[in-house]
Structure 1
Amino acid sequence: MELVRVYRSGFHEGSHFGALVVTDPDGEVVHARGNVDAAVFPRSSNKPFQAVAMLEAGADLAGADLALASASHSGEPQHVDRVQAMLAADDLTEDDLGCPEALPYGEAARLDVLRAGGGPRRVYMNCSGKHAGMLRASRVQGWDLPGYLSTDHPLQQRVGAVVARLAGETPSAVGIDGCGAPLFAISLTGLARAFGRVNAAPAGSTEQQVASAMRAAPEMVGGTGRDDTLLMTALPGVLVKGGAEGVHCAALPDGTCVAVKIADGGDRARMPVLIGALRELGLGPDPVFDQLGTGTVLGGGQPVGTVSVAPGLW
């Protein structure tokens, strides 16, 4: 279904298609557009579920460390220093990380590294906090460390079980994410249901610990100027996490959840749909909504159009 329209100089130049679902606190669908039953890879929207599995395995993670284990961070000094400290706490090093080397995701951090003559490192990779958490969970259980990313590793099996339990469905496929970790395909509805359950989980539960840590340290979940960080800072109690290939989730304190999948993976289409849904759910107005809710189309370096929600989405 058409979710987003791109206008240039008043001309309808293009569209982004995909699916949108809203689930209520009981996990039931209350609004759907597109095929919300089709399986999707949650990509990094999966990270809160992976962090739940880490805690269930006994990983000693709390506060900003737990937020970073659920993050797609920008590779800023605050993130890199924290990941290194997480590793050192269990006598681990950057060499133990199984994620690929990368430059920092954040532009300012990336430029700082390059100006200093640096290059790609595993600790800069946006998923390094998650990998540090996985290593710590494996260390405390005495599980194999070099093989912690194998799909048959006990930790990854636990992740799959957590995803199935929270989504209320059996994953239909297993793949490998960009960072090298196993990834479990579920329906967009299942993703919304699972994400909402994490944010509305009972006090003291592992799910509640993850959600609380992410909401309390949004700067660790993303970084300076990042969508998730801006939204969670502006909307206390709301849990937000995006992923690659056009996936994004936002859950309200009561467990109501919005999940978006842009079919072509276009990043520019995610925020207009997500912000539009949050507005329909009664959130805002907020300057962040105005900042993120409509994309800008440039011509000659000047704004000449918009990327906005398609008519009839609600």
Structure 2
Amino acid sequence: MMGDVLVKDYRGNVLENVHPGHICIIDYNGKIKYDVGDNQHITYMRSSAKPLQAIPVIKYGFDKKYGYTDKETTILAASHWGEPFHIATIESIIAKLNITEDDLIMLPTYPINVKAREALLKANKPARRVYHNCSGKHLGIITLSKGMGYETEGYWEIDHPAQQEILRHVAYMAEYDKDEVKIGVDGCGVPVFAMPLYNLAKAFLRMACPELIKDDEIRMAVIRLTKLMNKNSEMIGGTGTICSNLLMDDNIVAKGGAQGVYCFGLKKEKLGIALKVMDGTENNWGIIVASILEQIGYDNKETISRLYNVFPNDIKNDNNIVVGRKEAVFRI
């Protein structure tokens, strides 16, 4: 269940923590090329599903119907950290949909980005729903609902027709039986989907290699969405996030989710990759992804260096003094 140890944390020379998990890497033909732990481990996709959830909006042209800019379309697939440019984009979508932020189900909160949050608190600004990192996804679901003529009330329920449309597209991209997808409730209140790690890797292989998608409309939607994610990488996460840093590389399609799940596809290498850190931590994603890229001989060293610069191996204390190190110990 716990998988193999992926990362070890040392404080001084003493092993303090281990982070077990699973990794699945599949090739262009859907064959397992490398794996660590259990490639069939079933996990919730959490926010790694967001690009898949945005596909029907683009497929049916609803982003164009409502006049979304490229950045506005991109943020539908995002876990934004609430920087001012994110919030301006979210507010613009709300105006174009002719709704209010009170139509979003999640409770008001503050941005994840520290500077943005501290600026709002210092100015005594209230918490808002638009600051939630899933607000773009919710607006995408509302866009789909309005575009298809559905009521937006209850858009967060699995039996809502918009959610059924999303489930169908997620299962199609993962090549997994829709009726076998396990359904839970995500942190933001909408349905969340669970399936084997192999199928998460399959979905991101198809995101990176859309020629594998037989459905013409879905294929064209994926091509457009992935180009937007690379072009507007700052919208998918924000300053200092792993998603935005990986998406700066036009060869990569990537999206992470809560509780340790991360997925990405490599276009030129034609690989789909999914991993799950079983203790749910996300702060080891950078070193794990960088180690995967190094071990497969990825030729864009700038991307690997950027990961290590943003997510260093050094462990620092509250005084910004190096007191330990992280080591990726898995081998693929």
Q: Do they superpose with TM above 0.5? A: yes
CA RMSD of aligned residues (A): 1.8
Matching residue's letter, 2:113: G
**Paired residue for 1:93?**
100
SS of structure 2 residue aligned to 1:109: helix
1:162 aligns with 2:169: yes
Taking the aligned partners of 2:272 and 2:114, their CA distance within structure 1 comes to 30
Q: 1:226 to 1:299 in 2, by over 3 A?
A: closer
Determine if contact 2:286/2:307 at 8 Å carries over to the other structure.
Answer: no
TM-score (norm 1): 0.94
Amino acid at match of 2:95: A
Separation in structure 1 between the aligned mates of residue 130 and residue 311 of structure 2, nearest angstrom? 32
Are 1:62 and 1:213, in contact at CA under 8 Å, matched by a contact in 2?
A: no
1:144-155 equivalences under 5 Å are 144-155=151-162
In the alignment of these two chains, the number of paired residues is 312
Task: Kindly indicate whether residue 7 of structure 2 is the aligned counterpart of residue 4 of structure 1.
Answer: yes
1:246 aligns with 2:249: no
Paired residue secondary structure (1:268): coil
Give the direction of change, closer, same or farther, for the CA distance of 1:213–1:300 in structure 2 (3 Å limit).
Answer: closer
SS across alignment from 1:205:
helix
Aligned residue runs from structure 1 range 69-218, under 5 A: 69-170=76-177, 171-202=180-211, 205-218=220-233
Match of 2:246 among 221, 226, 231: 231
Cα deviation 1:102-132 (Å, max 9, x = unaligned): 1011111111111111121100100111111
Matched-pair contact (CA < 8 Å) for 2:242–2:307: no
34, 39, 42: which is aligned to 1:31? 34
Of 262-271 and 57-66, deviating more is 57-66
**3-state SS of paired residue (1:89):** helix
The answer to whether residue 37 in structure 2 is matched with residue 22 in structure 1 is no
Aligned runs of 1:262-301 on 2, under 5 Å? 262-283=277-298, 284-286=300-302, 287-292=305-310, 294-299=312-317, 301=319
Question: Is structure 2 residue 322 aligned with structure 1 residue 303?
Answer: yes
**Residue 299 and residue 86 in structure 1: after superposition, are their counterparts in 2 closer, same or farther (change >3 A)?**
closer
Q: Following the alignment from structure 1 to structure 2, what is the Cα–Cα distance between the partners of residues 100 and 214?
A: 27
Q: 1:206 to 1:62 in 2, by over 3 A?
A: farther
SS of aligned partner of 2:283: helix
- Shift of the 300–169 alpha-carbon distance from structure 1 to 2, 3 Å rule, reads closer
In structure 1, what is the Cα distance between the partners aligned to 2:232 and 2:307? 20
Alpha-carbon spacing, 1:252–1:70, altered in 2? closer, same or farther (3 Å): same
Take 1:273 and 1:137, find their aligned partners in 2: how far apart are those partners? 35
User: Quick check: 2:22–2:41 contact (8 Å CA) kept in 1?
Assistant: no
Q: Report which stretch shifted further, 288-297 or 96-105.
A: 288-297
Partner amino acid for 2:231? A
Could you state the TM-score of these two structures normalised by the residue count of structure 2? 0.89
Q: Provide the secondary structure at the position in 2 that maps to 1:275.
A: helix
**Matching residue's letter, 2:322:** P
In the aligned structure 2, how far is the partner of 1:56 from the partner of 1:88?
22
What SS is found at the alignment partner of 2:289?
helix
Give the share of equivalent positions with the same residue, in percent.
Answer: 31
